[in-house]
Structure formats: C-alpha cells, structure tokens
Structure 1
Amino acid sequence: MSSSSSTGKATIVTEGLAFGESPRWHDSRLWLCNWGTGEIVAVAEDGKGEVALTVPAVLPYSIDWLPDGRLLVVSGREGLLLRQEADRTLVTHADLRNLSKNPWNEIVVDGRGNIYVNGGGPAPAPGEHFGPGTIVLITPDGAVRQVADNIAFANGMAVTPDNRTLVVAESHARRLTAFDIGADGSLSDRRVWADLGNDYPDGICIDAQGCVWYADVPNRHCVRVREGGEKIDSVEVDRGCFACMLGGADGRTLFILAAEWRGFEHMVSDARTGQVLSIAVSAPGTGWPSYASGTRW
C-alpha cells in the first residue's frame, strides 16, 4: 500500500453547521443532513444555503432520491424510511423496526431503484456504542429483506455505475468491503475491496476512474483509494471528516463535510463547528449516489 499525496488545501463553502452527514449532489446543489438539528440543508457552490425541510429525527438520518424524484429520508432511531410526497408531507415508505431495534444509518438508491439501508443489527456488547451492522434491501415493489450482516460499524455506501457492485465502509474494521449485486438486488461474494490500515472510513463516493474517496474522522482527512488499497490522493483538514461527495457542474469538485469531534456523548450540543469544504479533483463522480441528477435514470 503506497502513501497518498496531498491534492492541496480545501476551501470553506459554508460553516456554522452541527454535524453534516449524507451529502448528495442534487439539482445543482449539495444537499446534506445537519445532524443534531433535524434539518436537511441545500447549499449552492457559492455557499448560499437554505433549510430544505426539517424531519422528525435528530440523528442519525440520511437521504437519497427515488427514480421519480421523491426524496427519501432514513429516520435512524425511529426505524423508518420516510418519503416526501409532492405536497411536501412525509409518509412512511418502509418500516424497518421489525428487523432491528438499533438505529439505522446510511442509504443509497442504485440506478434500478433498489434502496439499500445499513445499520440496525444486534444489540451492542456491554461498553460498546454499536453492535455488528446489517444491510437491508427495499425493492421497487416495496419488499424489505436483509441482504448482509456482521458489518463492523456500517457507514457510507456507494454503487458502481453498472449497478453490479456495492461498496460499504466498515469503519471499525478499517476497510472498504464490496458485494456483487444480483439481478434481484441481493448481495453476494463479499470481499475486502481495500484494507485501509490505520484509517477509519466514514462517508464514501466513487469516481469515474473506479476509485473511492472516503472521509475519516479521527485522522482528519479524505483519501482517494484504488481497489486493492493503494492510496493515491488525500485532503488534510483541521477537524474530523464525516462524509464526502463529488459534485459541481462537471462532477470534479470534492465536497467534504467536517466538524470537531468530541465523542459520541457530545454529538448533540450547541457547538456549531460543522463546515462544508470543497476542492477541485481530477476525476468526476459516477455511480450512486450520483452527482448527475438530471441524467440519473
């Protein structure tokens, strides 16, 4: 595994957030979940932002879109996948409570409309914050089933542009793990996509050269890695990196969601150290979640 080279210094797009998570490039803006506030925020590249909606969740919650353009929100502690209707009301799209009493975390909708949500799983061991996580599939016909288990703190997920591979960040195992996606959305052939050494991957996204960018909270950086584990680029910042997303007009802007980390017990507080940072990179985004929302399906 080679050491990565720095791509330069990221600039601040906006600040004053709590914890930004689940970034998505959609309709020419960066959408994100402002954990601790219930807000879903949309930010333009010039830093102008607005609260697009407020959801009945504090943390964790995450977002993506259905093929028809309706917004999905994972209300993690409540065990519900919500859907925003045309009149802006939120309704239940899927109920995950019978699968686990533990919080759900991230979501990705692939190019066929299959929805993957991770988290849940069995109760944590004494003294632990999280137990082994799972991945559940919600198909376009509304069926819900578990498709993977024993994920070591399930975090960011991304699907390759051919809809054939799902990559998930296993933060506590310090690796990216890949699955083959079957015709029915099922997952198989679990394998290590990249062993990340001493890094702890959080949010991830895929670029057009087949590399993955991952955010890392304790090491305060975002890193671009090839399948097999070669780290080829990195962006160092002054606080924890929670998630990243490729976007902008040509998909070649890496947006980083960063905040000061003071432990799980202090995640909900009045501190507003969260920032959106950006930096130009060489390869555009691809796959799902997709930056090219206008041509997503």
Structure 2
Amino acid sequence: MKHTPTLFAEGFLFPEAPRWHAGRGQFFVSDIDRGQVFAVSTDGQRHQVYQGPDWVSGTAFEDDKTLLITNARSRSLVRVRLDQPDAPPEMIASLAEIAPYGINDMIRTPAGICFIDTVSFDFVAYARGEIAAQPSVLARVDGDGRVSVATDAVSFPNGMVLTPDGKRLLVADSLGQCVHAFALAADGTLSERSCFAAMPGEMPDGMCLDASGAAWVAAHGRVVRVAEGGEVLEEVDMGSTSATAVALGGADGRTLLITASDSYDRAVMARNPTGRLFTVQVAVPGVGLPSVY
C-alpha cells in the first residue's frame, strides 16, 4: 500500500525527533538547527518549551512534567521542567569524551538508562562530499549521569525503538543501511546484534514501532513500514521533500507524524527554510518508546 502524506504544520527549519505524549495529548518535535523543542497539539498549533544553546535533537520524558533533551553540538544531556518554564535546564551529563563532534537522537528506558547517538565527524561536510565518514558509537548514560559506550557495533546510529517487552533495542544505522536489533538485558547491557531489516541503497533515520511488530522508518525520499526480516509492507511517498523521522500518536495511536525538510544543505536551509510536519492515517496503532509515552 502506498500513502500520500497530508501537510500538518510548517514554519520549521529542520524538524526531527517526534514523540507522542498521550497524557498531555501532544506531539513533541525538535527543530534541530534553531535549538528549539515544541509541543504540538493535534490541530497543528505549537508552543515552544525549550531553547537550547546550540542544536538540539533527541528528547525523552522522565514523567509528564520532565523532559530530557540532547544539546547536539555542546554534547550535553539536560533536564527541563515543563511546569517551570523559567527554571534553567539541569545538566545531567557531558558526552564530549566519547562524542568527538556531536550527539543526536536518544531513547530512555523505564529503568532510567539513556541511549544516545554520537557523531564522530562533521556530517554536514560529509553530506557535501568534503570528508569521509568515521564510525560513531552508541553511548549510554545511567541515571546517576555516568557515561559509557553501549556498543561500537554500529556505523552511524540514528533512530531507536525500545520494544514493549523491554528486551530489544532497535537501532537505525544510517550508513550501515540496516535496522539492527540488540538484545537488551535488565541492567542495560546490549548484546546479540542481529539485522531486523536490511535497507540496501537507503539511509534509515528516525523510526517507530506499531502493535504488529513492524517498524515505520524514515528513509528520506520515502517512509516505509517494514516487517522484521525486511519486507516492505507499506510506503509513504514523500515527493520532493525528505523524511527525517516518524512517530505514531494521536487519540487512537494511528496518526503517523512525519518530520521533513526539502534540503540537508545548511546554506540552502538558512535561505529557504522548508521544515514541515506531515501526517498519514494508518491501520495499526503505535507501541513502544520513544514514539508513545
């Protein structure tokens, strides 16, 4: 089945990392280059909840009023109190020692362990063909702020999904052209990497899981719903724009929210911002983190 997305909201520079919070009845979206995080209601109205010192990316809820955010270029994980808008962010951890260039998306387990993508090279220069990519590790931040390497068995970790049983972590490897599945132990240890879905010729980015066990994966020119093993079950044609991430939410969990931008070239984006949110109504509701809180 092929879907055509519907425009939901616009006016962003480079939106990413969508989440749905059922208790608040809102989507949350990062506008990376502007360093902003927004709460977005189901009618498309948005409210800014955070302004970072530089780029932002991943978010995760500790509870209904507390949001964790990755400051991408300063490579820090901070805590923001949504019910205290004037309170300064609380520093949780610096990832500078294991992230040479930046950090990106994140996911938090119910036990309080955060897995955070690191970036070891200037990916903007890489996208222009000026430098070669370097392997980037997946980081781990424990509840007490301790930082370690969760795994180096990835090339460029990106979107992540925690299965509802809490026993597997799926990691989109954008340069490895694969969605990996890691066994996740109760203590947060990752092991037994397998390939959930190979995506040759594509760059898997942000993703989410539905109740059937299939994953919706943003692959820039399109969004695909893939079963474990790699079979493409459904597709969203993004036309001339590029999908960066997805989340399933809404009152019934069947609204697929897609973040997208026409370009990844920062010079082009600065002159002509094209960041938008799109939606598609799907049959199977979302489950699992980070999409559904």
TM-score (norm 2): 0.90
Match of 1:61 among 57, 64, 67: 57
- Alignment match, 1:119: 118
Q: Structure 1: which amino acid aligns with 2:162?
A: V
Match of 2:176 among 152, 168, 173: 173
* Unaligned 5+ runs, structure 1: none
Q: Structure 2: which amino acid aligns with 1:223?
A: V
The separation in 1 between residues aligned to 2:173 and 2:101, in whole angstroms, is 17
- Counting matched residue pairs gives 283
- Per-residue deviation, 1:139: 2.1
Secondary structure, in 3 states, of the residue corresponding to 1:151? Answer: coil
CA contact (8 A) 2:263 2:269 kept: no
CA contact (8 A) 1:255 1:277 kept: yes
The separation in 1 between residues aligned to 2:42 and 2:257, in whole angstroms, is 10
Is residue 32 of structure 2 the alignment partner of residue 35 of structure 1?
A: yes
CA contact (8 A) 1:36 1:267 kept: no
- Per-residue deviation, 1:152: 1.9
Q: Structure 2: which amino acid aligns with 1:183?
A: A
CA contact (8 A) 1:110 1:289 kept: no
* Unaligned 5+ runs, structure 2: none
- Alignment match, 2:262: 260
Q: Structure 1: which amino acid aligns with 2:72?
A: G
CA contact (8 A) 2:18 2:291 kept: no
Match of 1:248 among 247, 250, 270: 250
The separation in 1 between residues aligned to 2:64 and 2:25, in whole angstroms, is 17
Q: CA, structure 1 residues 247+195, in 2 after alignment: closer, same or farther (shift >3 Å)?
A: same
- Per-residue deviation, 1:133: 1.3
Is residue 80 of structure 2 the alignment partner of residue 84 of structure 1?
A: yes
Q: Structure 2: which amino acid aligns with 1:18?
A: L
Q: CA, structure 1 residues 187+227, in 2 after alignment: closer, same or farther (shift >3 Å)?
A: same
- Per-residue deviation, 1:278: 0.6
The separation in 1 between residues aligned to 2:18 and 2:191, in whole angstroms, is 27
The separation in 2 between residues aligned to 1:168 and 1:267, in whole angstroms, is 29
- Alignment match, 2:205: 202
Is residue 24 of structure 2 the alignment partner of residue 21 of structure 1?
A: no
Q: Structure 1: which amino acid aligns with 2:39?
A: A
The separation in 1 between residues aligned to 2:143 and 2:17, in whole angstroms, is 22
Per-residue deviation, residues 215-250 of structure 1 (Å, max 9, x unmatched): 012xx2110001110010011122000110000011
Match of 1:160 among 156, 159, 163: 163
Q: Structure 1: which amino acid aligns with 2:31?
A: N
- Per-residue deviation, 1:67: 4.2
- Per-residue deviation, 1:183: 1.6
Q: Structure 2: which amino acid aligns with 1:57?
A: D
Q: Structure 2: which amino acid aligns with 1:133?
A: S
Is residue 93 of structure 2 the alignment partner of residue 107 of structure 1?
A: no
CA contact (8 A) 2:58 2:107 kept: no
- Alignment match, 1:74: 70
- Per-residue deviation, 1:10: 1.5
Per-residue deviation, residues 22-47 of structure 1 (Å, max 9, x unmatched): 11112211111112211111211211
- Alignment match, 2:45: 48
Q: Structure 1: which amino acid aligns with 2:146?
A: A
TM-score (norm 1): 0.89
Percent identity between the aligned chains? Answer: 31
Secondary structure, in 3 states, of the residue corresponding to 2:175? Answer: helix
